[in-house]
A and B are shown apart, each in its own frame.
Chain A
Amino acid sequence: MKSRIVAALAALALAGGCAQEKTRYGDARGVETVTNQFGSTDLQMMAESMARSMLQAPVIASSNLPVVTVQEVRNKTSEYIDTRAITDSIRAELQKGGRVRFAVDQAGMNPQVDELKRQQSGLYAKESAAEMGQMVGAQYRLEGNIVSIVKQVEDTKDVYYKLNLQLWNIRNGLLEWSDEKEIRKTTTRG
């Protein structure tokens, strides 16, 4: 009986030891290869590459702070990707660079209008309340697609992503800039 208790205790201690967790901070900008699904490195690379490319577009480089609105990046891949995170990163990089201004987009329109209405409700001093009809319309709209091709045989899985972005002139409907960023990741087991 005694030896059984000792064995049980040893097994318990071992199991407890194995279950020990360790949490450490990592490099948020490091290369992440935990799985071959869309990851932080893909998002960061796509956003940086697109923002830098857009900076070279003649309408951005030669204009005096053009006003852009961000529309949808359609996710045509087979996995869930928060495409808003990609456009948010592109917008942050361009805004920080001071070359582009962004007008409120569709997603932000309701909160914007709600706030305007609230300020026009009579609760605020007239001189500090934002007036209706003063919003700036965008000159360009940014939209795009992300697609993927996934192939898998036995122990190999290959994923190819392609992000395509386009900058359209709202007034005349011309495509002013477009670029693509491709990423390939292959995972092999064994």
Chain B
Amino acid sequence: MKPTLVIAAMAAGALVAGCAAKKGFEKPGFAFGCPIGESKVSSMDDLVRTKVVSEGRRTTIQATEMRCSQTGELLRIDTNLNNDSKSVKRIAYKFRWIDREGMRAWEEEPWKPLMLYENSNFVINTISPTNKAVDFRLVLRSEE
């Protein structure tokens, strides 16, 4: 087989593989830029379910979207929260940072109160406090 044919076949293979990667899942171990480790995540809903936890009083506020990006050695996170009710909702949130060993990479953050207008979206964004934090959970609770 001619070397040019081999190169062409390899390029075509790489192209097919590239096209086959679903949008948001291009990098193995990451979904929409967020670290997922061994978790089975195949959609945005899966990602949100994996990363968002509830503590204390449950809230009707839903995280609908989450995207992450690497800023230098730190992890930047944008999370869209949705209030689809007809009333103003008050919640509190915090991020929990996890290191490579699955242990806490940072002390417990303070709860941050947040008000969401009726039928509205609000994007909370944060950055990891240290480069030791390679994973996270967003914790929500109702403040009603």
Contact = CB atoms under 8 A, between A and B. Distances in A.
B92 A31 contact: yes
Contacts of A48: 109-110, 112
A29 B109 contact: yes
Nearest to A183: B113
Given A55-B74, A61-B71, A96 B130 contact: yes
A27 B76 CA distance: 27
B120 interface: no
B71 A45 contact: no
The contact size tier of chain A is 10 to 19
Which label, helix, strand, loop or mixed, suits the secondary structure of the A interface? helix
Interface residues of B, number: 18
A41 interface: yes
A87 B74 CA distance: 22
Interface string A14-45: 00000000000001011101000000010011
A44 B112 CA distance: 9
Nearest to A29: B110
A56 interface: yes
A117 to B, nearest CB: 37
B9 to A, nearest CB: 43
Nearest to B126: A52
Interface of B: 71-72, 74, 76, 92, 94, 108-113, 126-127, 129-131, 143
Given A27-B111, A48-B110, A52-B127, 8 more contacts: A29-B108, A31-B92, A48-B112, A52-B126, A55-B129, A61-B71, A97-B129, A97-B130
